[in-house]
Amino acid sequence: MRIILATNNKNKLREISQILSPLGYEVVTQSDAGINIEVDETGVTFAENAYLKAKAIFDLTDNCCVLADDSGLMIDYLNGEPGVYSARYGGTKNDKDHNDLVLKKLSGVPDEKRTARFVCAMCFIKADGEVIAVEGKCEGKIAAEPSGENGFGYDPIFMFGDKSFAEIPADEKNRVSHRANAIKMLLQSLNTN
């Protein structure tokens, strides 16, 4: 089955493809499918933004399956920030700036109050227009400083156990991440429909 991913983010494409390709799914970005639009993420939840992206791309296809995700980091001490604004936190789209801002806001905050989670809402629109929405999470803590060379976004400061997401191998991250958990739920829904 061919799935158009409602993004041009190569990191998301890589992660989702690594999980779905072995199961027989061909995942392509929206630009690979000839769709070059930027969808305004005006939703106030991850689920709303995922739906907006999926629906906008689906409406431009000839009944192709479309998958969109909206994901981000929610930090308890910061009342859920950066949340749906994770990709543009602090008014920038630079990963290092995002991580620096989080670490600055958590400066002096003790380890036990640095709890956080990655959240991934996925919206899948089947060729017949049926919508399936799921949400995956991964619990962790925010590190005192960045570590690791793998991953992207907030991965260097998100601690999963005793390692950051940027320190664990991709295959392990693809088993435990918020995105992996959302995909597992999506596949369960697809298999029961």
Annotated catalytic sites, by residue? 70
Torsion sign over Cα 158, 164, 166, 170: negative
Q: How far is CA 177 from CA 72, 84, 156, 164, 168, in A?
A: 12, 17, 14, 12, 11
Name the region of 108 (left: φ>0; alpha: ψ -120 to 50; beta: rest).
left
Judging by DSSP bridges, how do beta strands 2-5 and 65-75 pair with one another? Answer: parallel
Q: Give the number of other Cβ atoms within 10 Å of residue 129's Cβ.
A: 9
DSSP letters spanning 95-133: HHHHHHHHHHHTTT--GGG-EEEEEEEEEEE-TTS-EEE
Contacts of 91 (CB under 8 A, 6+ apart): none
CA distance 65 to 63: 7
d(CA 84, CA 106): 19
